[in-house]
């Protein structure tokens, strides 16, 4: 009920402005790579490289077992980057904030979505027929009338 009142709209606006300020402050404080983050990225790359190396080096093992080596290397590298590096933490917080904003979206009802989808499909079909007709006319004019190949 408070959403339609002027106070409710002001509260929404102020919360959006606060979120924007928080995000802009985070971006200004944490720009670029830090030396420790570069080292952590190298460790993550080493995990992936060791996983790929183990895949090819242990060729005597069954293939389904060998696939675990690169998979574990990639998973360890992602965990290291997303939860230990500074920019990974910022990426995770950005994704969480995006999910919160995504949940605030008011989606159209199924009937409206279906109607608009049908409208778009019909429009695309008509437009494609028009483009086909124009292309056929130009081809006929060029090849049959001008070059007399027909």
User: What is the rounded average pLDDT of the residues 49-72?
Assistant: 94
- Whether the predicted pLDDT of 93 surpasses 90: yes
Predicted TM-score (pTM) of this structure: 0.49
Residue 114 to residue 108: CA distance in whole angstroms: 10
Q: Which of 33, 22, 30, 28 is nearest to 97 (CA)?
A: 22
Of 57-66, 114-123, 139-148, minimum mean pLDDT range: 139-148
pLDDT score for 45: 95
Q: Residue 36 to residues 33, 127, 146: CA-CA distances in angstroms?
A: 8, 55, 70
Tokens standing for 31?
Answer: 């720009």
Domain definitions of the chain by residue range:
32-106, 107-150
């Amino acid at each position: 009920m408070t959403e339609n009142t002027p106070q409710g709209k002001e509260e929404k606006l102020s919360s959006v402005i606060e979120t924007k300020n928080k995000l802009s402050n985070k971006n200004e404080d944490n720009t670029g790579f830090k030396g420790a983050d570069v080292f952590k990225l190298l460790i993550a790359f080493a995990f992936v490289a060791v996983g790929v190396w183990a895949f090819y080096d242990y060729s005597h093992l069954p293939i389904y077992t060998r696939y675990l080596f690169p998979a574990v290397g990639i998973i360890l590298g992602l965990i290291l980057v997303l939860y230990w590096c500074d920019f990974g933490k910022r990426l995770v917080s950005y994704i969480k904030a995006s999910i919160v904003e995504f949940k605030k979206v008011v989606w159209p009802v199924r009937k409206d979505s279906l109607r608009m989808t049908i409208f778009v499909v019909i429009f695309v079909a008509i437009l494609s027929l028009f483009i086909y007709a124009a292309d056929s006319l130009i081809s006929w004019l060029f090849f049959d009338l001008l070059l007399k190949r027909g």
